[in-house]
Amino acid sequence: MAPDGLKDSWRSVRSIGAVSGRHMLKKGPWTAAEDAILKEYVKKHGEGNWNAVQRNSGLMRCGKSCRLRWANHLRPNLKKGAFSSEEERIIGELHAMLGNKWARMAAQLPGRTDNEIKNYWNTRLKRRQRAGLSTYHQEQQQINSNSSTSLQALLSSSHPINVSYNNTPLSLFDMLKSSNPQPSSSSYLSNINNHLKFFCDNRDLSLSLVASNSPFSSSLTPLPFSNNSLPMSSLEYNALNFGPNNSSNQISTSIVTSIQDVEFPSIQQSVQTETTPSSSERGDNSDLLGLMDKLGEKPVSNFPTHENNYQGTKKKGCVEGVMNPVDDDIFSLLDNFPLAVQPVPDWYQGNGNILFDADADANVGTEYRPTESTANVDWNINGSCCWYTMPSAMLD
């Protein structure tokens, strides 16, 4: 780094060229003085309305430039400096799933910006290419080739979800509070984006919810069954307990999930999933609606059907009836929900306690592989397999 004096003189040289006319906005590197003005402005007026910065503070920068400067350098709680090895691992995993979705990746890495991640990745990519290496390590490539693209899209999209029971809206936060209060998880759920993802519980055949960015476990593999995500967060634990065998859970018989996806707001979907069907019902239902019908379950008023194209409450700015590919993924997943009972993997005790392989535990970042005895579990049908086999990022 050059001394500030040197830097500033260079900056001034550049700015002369950039600020030539009366209304010309400055470009190029920001000075400390400009930073101070912008900080003061945000302190006073809050974030947003960036074009007003120039009008109100006299800072000769366009709104875009202000926003960028704030987001990447001035906003509080930004981590600076090199990525930790854990962060690098997460980036690798995220990139394997998401591709160049820098902003999405940054959302999973508190204090890091999309720009940082992008720069890091591109640098790394170049290095690997120069060395004649592939973008990912072998195991990461396996994710891409073994799992369906659409399912990946589903799993990689973060879905804030509202859950209701008998048409009564119920937040996952409430459920968590009522069944397993934990202050730390409360603050987590009440304050960050509450990104949730689906996964299917093979044993209970229920649609469960799990936090994708739970601070209580590592990175992207917070599955209860995952051997490298100890300890399981309470949220995950409760997701697991949505099954029928947990009498303490007030919604143990069925879960009505109302999905209000801020990311895909074209529809408000309600999805009813059934927990373990009785033996006579096993295996002979082809879809969720059929199963519900059989069990006498009434869909909630806006329960999606193919007839109404899953239209529900229209949210502001939504286009009714438009299903994007991820919407399709959701319903494809649900339509193909494994209603036939799967064998219970022997590493799952069935009571929320998970059997972990001691060797694997000792070896952080290793990949879970179904053992011989679990080979008859259909690892491809419900998507969770993608997660079970999620490897750690392999960085140099």
Find the shortest distance in angstroms from Cβ 72 to DNA.
6
* Window contacting DNA (CB under 7 A); options: 22-30, 168-176, 182-190, 251-259: 22-30
Binding mask 314-353 for DNA (x = CB under 7 A): --xx------------------------------------
* Window contacting DNA (CB under 7 A); options: 1-9, 177-185, 273-281, 297-305: 1-9
Strand partners for 196: 211
Residue in 49, 245, 332, 336 binding DNA, rule: CB under 7 A: 49
Residue in 16, 40, 48, 309 binding DNA, rule: CB under 7 A: 48
Q: 3-state class of 83 per DSSP?
A: coil
Q: Is the dihedral of CA 189, 316, 71, 43 positive or negative?
A: negative
Q: Is 1 in the site for DNA (CB under 7 A)?
A: yes
* Window contacting DNA (CB under 7 A); options: 113-121, 174-182, 195-203, 354-362: 113-121
Find the shortest distance in angstroms from Cβ 20 to DNA.
13
Residue in 30, 216, 337, 368 binding DNA, rule: CB under 7 A: 30
Half-sphere exposure of residue 354: CA atoms within 13 angstroms, side-chain side: 21
Q: Is 28 in the site for DNA (CB under 7 A)?
A: yes
Q: Is 141 in the site for DNA (CB under 7 A)?
A: no
Residue 373 per-residue DSSP state: G
Q: 3-state class of 295 per DSSP?
A: coil
Find the shortest distance in angstroms from Cβ 78 to DNA.
10
Residue in 45, 127, 298, 369 binding DNA, rule: CB under 7 A: 127
Closest by alpha carbon to 194, among 267, 263, 271, 253? 263
Count CB-CB contacts under 10 A for residue 74: 16
Integer Cα distance of 165 and 172 in angstroms: 11
Q: Is 122 in the site for DNA (CB under 7 A)?
A: yes
* Window contacting DNA (CB under 7 A); options: 117-125, 213-221, 245-253, 327-335: 117-125
Q: Is 88 in the site for DNA (CB under 7 A)?
A: no
Integer Cα distance of 188 and 177 in angstroms: 12
Q: In Å, what is the CA distance from 245 to each residue of 164, 202, 240?
A: 20, 14, 10
Q: At 207, which helix (H) or strand (E)?
A: strand 206-211
Residue in 12, 16, 29, 40 binding DNA, rule: CB under 7 A: 29
Integer Cα distance of 292 and 298 in angstroms: 7
Integer Cα distance of 84 and 175 in angstroms: 34
231: cis peptide before it, omega within 30°? yes
Residues that bind DNA (CB under 7 A): 1-2, 6-7, 10, 14, 26-30, 48-52, 63-65, 67-69, 72-73, 82, 100-104, 114-116, 118-120, 122-123, 126-127, 130, 265, 316-317
